[in-house]
Amino acid sequence: MAFSTFPTVTKCSSIGREKHTVVADMDGTLLIGRSSFPYFALVSFEAGGLLRLFFFVLASPLAALLYYFISESAGIQVLIFFF
């Protein structure tokens, strides 16, 4: 059993922490897959409906080609642009 060096959330006080930042790894909490596509597709549909999702899906082959053959960053940038 691994022990954390940080106290649990129930023992932390929120008083005097207005300017503090919380960082959490949320990857895999909304959708299980490691791909960025489902996250962007879900938000695209929620933000703009079926038409926006349709254009996003049309752009996804270009993003996949860039992601796997050029660089991960370029593929993500295409997804963000069409998002």
How many C-beta neighbours within 10 Å does residue 67 have?
A: 21
Domain ranges for the chain? 34-83
What is the average pLDDT across 5-28? 73
pLDDT digits (tens, 9 = 90+) for 28-82: 666 566 677 778 888 888 888 888 889 888 888 888 888 888 888 888 888 788 7
pTM of the predicted protein model: 0.53
Question: How is 48-71 classified by DSSP, letter by letter?
Answer: HHHHHHHHHHHHHHHHHHIIIII-
